[in-house]
Chain A
Amino acid sequence: MTGEARKAPFRPLARLKRIGGARASWSGLAAQAVLLAVLAWLAYEMVANVRANLAAQGIASGFGFLTHSAGFAVSQALIPYEQTDSYLRVFAVGLVNTLVVSAIGIVLATILGFVVGLGRLSPNWLLARLAGGYVELIRNLPLLYQILFWYLAVLGALPGPRQSLSPLPGVFLSNRGIVVPEPVPQASFAIVAAALALGIVIALGLGFYARRTLFRQGRVVRVWPYALAAVIGLPLAIALLFGAPLTFDVPELRGFNFAGGVRLLPEFAALTIALSTYTAAFIAENVRSGVLAVSRGQWEAGESLGLSRGQLLRLIVVPQALRVTLPPLANQYLNLTKNSSLAVAIGYPDLFSVFAGTALSQTGQAIEIIAITMAVYLAISLVTTTIMNVFNWRVARRGQA
């Protein structure tokens, strides 16, 4: 540590030596260079060897196939896709599907994980036992079974589209998924949206004013009725003046399936539920250990201030617990993303299923496709890790101050 503080004189060669390790000598450095050269040569040999072998076996190689037409349909495409589109397009469709299911899964898993983790520490005996049972059960069953359970036993048990359940008008639940009315923006949409934005700004301003008077003058001002009026009343008034901003395209049964509306496929729903409930069990454990790491004195101090349990957790315990809880979260998020590739079992068209599955078996270009797929998962991992590191760093810094 002390050595770090001194500024090293500028000696590039010495610096190079330092990169080679603490006790690097010139011979050591030479050894490293040789090793690097050998690695580079090996990599080159491998690529050349693979290419030669593929050619000898008559297997197509290269990335030209990406522009060829894929010729198969995908059940969920969030970007425009047709069967005649290219394999590159299939790749993009699969990637978006993977990202969407992972992102939603991460949000849900985090919320559920915090609820269960805190629930486990609740003084309420029943709640604590329920949360504990949840964690034990979920962590000890293989994820694939859980995915199949949600897909086949739960969602698969729903009635067919002609007998679908309709818990709310226009909402239909069947073994084809959940269909809800689709909002269609009208002419007045922009102006009502602007009114809503203005309302939110006003509400935020009021909140800021209330805080300032509380801190500066120790006076509580009741602003929430005005804030509410701004957020709801303003856009409502505009909508009354200019007409409804949205109409709803209500789904109706036509032929075998629902037409109109927005549909959530059961494959997507089952995968999201399974991934988030599974990962939540692990996150709950991280949360629990984070909370347990907060010293007793902090709790007692809060209690002696007369804070309720909710306030205590929100204002004192959880912010400190985050320092312990956050670092392993990154790992859980990565696991969730990687686990999403189990989608193939239930026909959810994620990257692994449509690209490393169908496209691979059609083109036979295993090496190229697996390499691209690995690179993508690696990139997702690196981005997630980086984001989490920045986040950790900020929380840790705040914790110290």
Chain B
Amino acid sequence: MKRVCMMLSVLAAAAVTAQAASAQTLKSVTDRGMLSCGVSQGLPGFSSPDDKGNWTGLDVDVCRAIAAAVLNDPTKVKFVPLSAKDRFTALQSGEIDVLSRNSTWTLSRDTALGLNYTGVTYYDGQGFMVRKALKVNSALELNSASICVQTGTTNEQNVGDYFKANNMKYELIAFATADETIKSYELGRCDVFTSDVSQLYAMRLKFAAPNDHTVLPEVISKEPLGPLVRQGDDQWFDIVKWTLFAMINAEELGVTQKNVEEMAKSGKPELRRMLGGDGNLGETLGLSKDWVVRIVKAVGNYGEAFDRNVGAGSRLGIARGLNKLWNQGGIQYAPPIR
């Protein structure tokens, strides 16, 4: 019965909501006074709730930054936890305003799904996790393995490409949610758990015995993760896109959560333009002049958010790697605010 209800609501949603597709997201968010943001169902470092229901993580900070820019209050976010397979339907149907859930940017998602990727918050790649006791050192030793994966992900498809290219056999068991996936892997149903590497590390924190498991060196795909919005609302698309760019530019120009107020008073032209002392760049987006100040005050710049959630300052301790700024050996690069 529940299923039938769900089916009907998908149909109804599809039939009705599409009227909201046109350029109104900014208005409906401000009218509501609340941003509705799709996140994962619990992925430490990216989006996970604590026992009081407070959400933290890099993906969560993107939501908060948007709320700060639009509503001047980073707490005005309703987080909607979504499994990999339900996330895009939730965005299409208008249940959420933006999807910020470790979602890989691919051509088909950007086009046929009627969605638009706004940028890359984290450059990732897919990897494999195995039990140390198996004494496997390379993914090329995985012939005939059973592999647990979450359904509705790019990972589900990449595995096949990799095993086929290397002439190996495998068995893929696909689960609806992350919890079921890792529970089955931990119980030994699968030899391998596969996902984006960052998520392997994040999920390992949830294991009963994290140290019994290791991530193999091979990275088999490109997984640029980023936020998405619906097609057909250019203004909202710009707002979400430039919120992330603002965080990256802030890092590049040395603007931090601590010094942002001071920097706003600085006489440097590029700081004045970005922080609203000069011109009306924020207003051209449909926001206020001090939109970047609000963002950085709320979540810090990109580097700060990265460190706090997934980097050196977090339980995950992931190295910045590819996610360093372009002028520091990475590929994070944002167009200039001018």
Contact surface of A with B, Cβ cutoff 8 Å: 46, 49-50, 52-54, 56-60, 71-75, 83, 152, 156-157, 160, 175-176, 254-257, 259, 266-267, 338, 341, 344-347, 349, 352-353, 356-358, 360-364, 366-367, 370-371, 373-374
> Known contacts being A59-B114, A256-B144, A361-B89, is A175 close to B189, with CB within 8 Å?
yes
With A71-B160, A364-B112: A347-B184 Cβ-Cβ less than 8 Å: yes
Q: Which residues of A contact B84 (CB under 8 A)?
A: 361
A56-B3 Cα distance, complex, nearest whole Å? 28
Contact of A59 among B112, B142, B148 (CB under 8 A): B112
Which residues of chain B have C-beta atoms less than 8 A from A338's C-beta? 1, 3-4
Is residue B322 within 8 Å, beta carbon to beta carbon, of the partner chain? no
User: Quick one: which of A52, A349, A370 contacts B11, CB cutoff 8 A?
Assistant: A370
Question: Residue of A at shortest CB range from B144?
Answer: A255
Q: Are A53 and B14 in contact (CB under 8 A)?
A: yes
The answer on a CB contact under 8 Å between A57 and B114 is: yes
Judge whether A175 and B231 touch: CB under 8 Å.
no
B180 and A56 contact, CB distance less than 8 A = no
Docked-complex contact B18 and A54, CB < 8 angstroms: yes
Bound Cα distance A371, B4 (Å): 11
Q: Is the CB of A175 within 8 A of B187?
A: yes
Q: Do A152 and B183 touch across chains, with their CB atoms under 8 A apart?
A: yes
Given A71-B160, A257-B146, A361-B89, A346–B152 Cβ distance below 8 Å?
Answer: no
- Interface pair B92/A366, CB less than 8 Å apart: yes
Interface residue? B85 (CB, 8 A): yes
Give the one of B1, B88, B111 with max A CB within 10 A: B88
Q: B269-292 interface mask toward A, CB cutoff 8 Å, 1 = contact, 0 = none?
A: 000000000000000000000000
Residues of B within 8 A of A176 (CB): 146, 189
CB distance from B73 to the nearest CB of A (A): 29
Given contacts A59-B114, A156-B184, A156-B187, whether A360 and B89 have CB atoms under 8 Å apart is: yes
Name 28 interchain pairs, CB-CB below 8 A, sorted by A: A50-B18, A52-B18, A59-B92, A60-B113, A71-B160, A72-B156, A72-B157, A74-B172, A83-B164, A157-B187, A176-B146, A255-B143, A255-B145, A256-B134, A257-B144, A257-B171, A266-B189, A347-B151, A361-B151, A361-B152, A362-B157, A364-B88, A364-B113, A366-B10, A366-B89, A367-B10, A367-B14, A374-B4
Q: Given contacts A175-B187, A361-B152, is CB(A50)–CB(B10) below 8 Å?
A: no
Contact between chains at B11 and A371 (CB < 8 Å): yes
Q: Which of A53, A59, A160, A259 contacts B188 (CB 8 A)?
A: A160
Q: Would A57 and B15 count as touching, CB distance under 8 A?
A: no
A345→B83 CA distance, assembly (Å): 12
Interface check B19, CB cutoff 8 A: yes
Q: Which residues of B contact A353 (CB under 8 A)?
A: 151, 174, 176
Q: Are B89 and A57 in contact (CB under 8 A)?
A: no
What's the least CB distance linking B250 to chain A, in Å? 32
- Give every chain B residue within 8 A of A56 (Cβ-Cβ): 18, 21-22, 232
Query: Within B138-155, which residues are at the interface with A (CB < 8 Å)?
Result: 142-146, 148, 151-152
Q: Using Cβ atoms and an 8 Å threshold, which residues of chain A touch B19?
A: 53
Asked whether A373 lies within 8 Å of B189 as measured between CB atoms, the reply is no
Option from A54, A75, A363, A370 in Cβ contact (under 8 Å) with B172: A75
Closest 7 CB pairs of A and B: A53-B18, A59-B114, A361-B152, A255-B144, A364-B113, A58-B231, A60-B112
Report the separation of the CA atoms of residues A71 and B160 in the bound assembly, to the nearest whole angstrom.
8
Instruction: Verify if B170 is at the interface (C-beta below 8 Å from A).
Output: yes
Give complex CA distance A53, B10 in Å: 14
CB distance from A154 to the nearest CB of B (A): 11
* Chain A residue, CB-CB nearest to B176: A344
List the A side residues contacting B173 at CB < 8 Å.
75, 267, 347
Are B180's CB and A358's CB within 8 A?
no
B167 interfacial by beta-carbon distance below 8 Å: no
Closest beta carbon of chain B to A62's beta carbon, Å: 11
Chain B residues with Cβ below 8 Å from A344 are: 151, 176
Cβ distance B115 to chain A, nearest Cβ, rounded Å: 8
A347–B164 CB distance below 8 A? no
Decide: A73 near B160, CB < 8 A? Known: A57-B18, A358-B85: yes
B86 within 8 A of A: yes
Nearest Cβ in chain B — how far from A228, in angstroms? 43
Chain A CB within 8 A of B293 CB: no
Cβ of B7 and Cβ of A59 under 8 Å apart? no
Please indicate which of the listed interface residues A157, A175, A344 has the most CB atoms of chain B within 10 Å of its own CB: A344
**Is the Cβ of B232 less than 8 Å from the Cβ of A345?**
no
Inter-chain contact A341/B180, CB cutoff 8 Å: no
B89 touches A75 (CB 8 A): no
